[in-house]
Chains A and B, each alone.
Chain A
Amino acid sequence: MTQSNRLSGGQIDRNTTLKFTFDGKTYDGHPGDTLASALLANNVRLMGRSFKYHRPRGPLTAGSEEPNAIVELRSGDRQEPNTRATTAELYDGLVAKSQNRWPSLAFDAMAINDRFSNFLTAGFYYKTFMWPAAFWEKVYEPIIRKAAGLGSLSMQADPDAYDKGFRHCELLIVGAGPAGLMAALTAGRAGRDVILADEDFAMGGQLNSETFALNDAPALDWTTATVAELSSLPNVRLMPRTTVIGAFDHGIYGAVERISDHLETPPEGKPRQILWRIYTQKTLLCAGATERSIAFENNDRPGIMLASAIRTYANRWAATPAQRVTIFTNNDDGHRTAADLHAKHVNIAAVVDTRADAPFSSDYEVIKGAQVVDTKGRLGLTFAELRLANGESRTVECGALGVSGGWNPNVHLTCHQRGRPTWNEDLAAFVPGADLPPGMTVAGAADGTFSTHGALTSGANAAARILDIKPSDAPTTEDAAVRQTPFWFVEGCSRAWLDQQNDVTVKDVKLSHQEGFRSVEHLKRYTTLGMATDQGKTSNMGGLAIMAELVGKSIPEVGTTIFRPPYTPTAIGVLGGRMRGMDFHPTRLTPSHFWAKERGAVFVEVGNWLRAQWFPIAGETNWRASVDREVRATRNSVGVCDCTTLGKIDVQGTDAALFLNKVYCNGFAKLAVGKTRYGLMLREDGIAMDDGTAGRLAEDHFVVTTTTANAGKVYQHMEFVRQCLMPDADVQLISTTEAWAQYAVAGPNSRKLLQKIVDPAFDISNDGFPFMACGNITVCGGLRARLFRISFSGELAFEIAVPSRYGDALIRKLMAQGEEFDVTPYGTEALGVMRIEKGHAAGNELNGTTTALNLGMGRMVSKAKDSIGSKLSERAGLNEDGALAQVGIKPVNAADKITAGGHLMAATGPVDAKHDQGYVTSAAFSPSLDHMIGLGFLKDGGSRLGETMRLVSPVTDLTVEVEIVSAHFVDPEGERVRA
Chain B
Amino acid sequence: MIINHPLLGPRDSAEFIYMGDAGLINRPDPETASGEEWYAYAYLRDNPAGEHRELWWHEGGDRSWLVVTRNTVTHEISKVEIARDVARAQGRSK
Give the complex CA separation of A834 and B75 in angstroms: 51
A252 touches B38 (CB 8 A): no
A249 touches B1 (CB 8 A): yes
A725 touches B87 (CB 8 A): yes
Give the complex CA separation of A279 and B3 in angstroms: 13
| Complex contacts, A719 vs chain B, CB 8 Å | 57, 63, 65
A250 touches B1 (CB 8 A): yes
Give the complex CA separation of A716 and B24 in angstroms: 14
Main SS at interface, chain B: mixed
| Complex contacts, B43 vs chain A, CB 8 Å | 685
Choose from B30, B35, B93 the contact partner of A728 (Cβ within 8 Å): B93
Give the complex CA separation of A250 and B10 in angstroms: 10
Give the complex CA separation of A620 and B59 in angstroms: 45
Give the complex CA separation of A971 and B17 in angstroms: 44
| Complex contacts, A685 vs chain B, CB 8 Å | 42-43
Q: Which residue of B lies closest to A726 (CB)?
A: B94
A252 touches B65 (CB 8 A): no
| Complex contacts, B87 vs chain A, CB 8 Å | 723-725, 727
B17 touches A728 (CB 8 A): no
A250 touches B38 (CB 8 A): no
| Complex contacts, A729 vs chain B, CB 8 Å | 94
Interface readout for B31-73 with A: 1 if CB under 8 Å, 0 if not?
A: 0010100110111000000000001010100011100000000
Interface readout for A860-879 with B: 1 if CB under 8 Å, 0 if not?
A: 00000010001110010000
Within 8 Å of chain B (Cβ to Cβ): is A655?
A: yes
Q: Which of A222-271 contact B (CB under 8 A)?
A: 249-252
Within 8 Å of chain B (Cβ to Cβ): is A762?
A: no
Give the complex CA separation of A335 and B64 in angstroms: 64
Within 8 Å of chain B (Cβ to Cβ): is A658?
A: yes
Give the complex CA separation of A684 and B19 in angstroms: 14
B94 touches A724 (CB 8 A): no
B57 touches A249 (CB 8 A): no
Q: How far is the CB of A654 from chain B (nearest CB, A)?
A: 11
Interface readout for A716-741 with B: 1 if CB under 8 Å, 0 if not?
A: 10011001111111000000000000
Which of B1, B35, B41, B42 has its CB near the most chain A CB atoms (within 10 A)?
B42
Q: How far is the CB of B60 from chain A (nearest CB, A)?
A: 12
Q: Which of A656-690 contact B (CB under 8 A)?
A: 658, 684-685
Give the complex CA separation of A684 and B39 in angstroms: 10
Which of B33, B65, B85 has its CB near the most chain A CB atoms (within 10 A)?
B65
| Complex contacts, B41 vs chain A, CB 8 Å | 684
Give the complex CA separation of A728 and B89 in angstroms: 11
B59 touches A716 (CB 8 A): yes
B27 touches A720 (CB 8 A): no
| Complex contacts, B79 vs chain A, CB 8 Å | none
| Complex contacts, A725 vs chain B, CB 8 Å | 25, 27, 87, 92
Give the complex CA separation of A674 and B93 in angstroms: 29
Q: How far is the CB of B8 from chain A (nearest CB, A)?
A: 14
Q: Which of B6-36 contact A (CB under 8 A)?
A: 12, 17, 19, 24-25, 27-28, 30, 33, 35
Q: Which residue of B lies closest to A865 (CB)?
A: B30
Given A250-B1, A684-B42, A727-B88, are A716 and B17 neighbors across the interface (CB < 8 Å)?
Answer: yes
| Complex contacts, B35 vs chain A, CB 8 Å | 875
Q: How far is the CB of A723 from chain B (nearest CB, A)?
A: 4
Give the complex CA separation of A658 and B94 in angstroms: 9
A872 touches B38 (CB 8 A): yes
Give the complex CA separation of A50 and B26 in angstroms: 62
Q: How far is the CB of B18 from chain A (nearest CB, A)?
A: 11
| Complex contacts, A723 vs chain B, CB 8 Å | 64-65, 83-84, 87
| Complex contacts, B65 vs chain A, CB 8 Å | 719-720, 723-724
Q: How far is the CB of B94 from chain A (nearest CB, A)?
A: 5
Q: Which residue of B lies closest to A866 (CB)?
A: B30
Q: How far is the CB of A873 from chain B (nearest CB, A)?
A: 11
Q: Which residue of A lies closest to B58 (CB)?
A: A719
Q: How far is the CB of B62 from chain A (nearest CB, A)?
A: 11
| Complex contacts, A658 vs chain B, CB 8 Å | 94
Choose from B2, B30, B42 the contact partner of A251 (Cβ within 8 Å): B2
A871 touches B94 (CB 8 A): no
A720 touches B19 (CB 8 A): yes
Give the complex CA separation of A44 and B75 in angstroms: 50
Q: Which residue of A lies closest to B29 (CB)?
A: A866
| Complex contacts, B38 vs chain A, CB 8 Å | 871-872
Give the complex CA separation of A866 and B30 in angstroms: 7
A724 touches B2 (CB 8 A): no
Q: A720-B24, A727-B93, A728-B92 are in contact. List 15 more A-B contacts (CB 8 A).
A: A249-B2, A249-B75, A658-B94, A684-B42, A719-B65, A720-B19, A720-B55, A723-B64, A724-B25, A724-B55, A724-B65, A726-B94, A727-B85, A728-B93, A871-B38
Could you list 5 A-B pairs, sorted by A, with CB under 8 Å? A684-B27, A684-B41, A719-B57, A725-B25, A725-B87
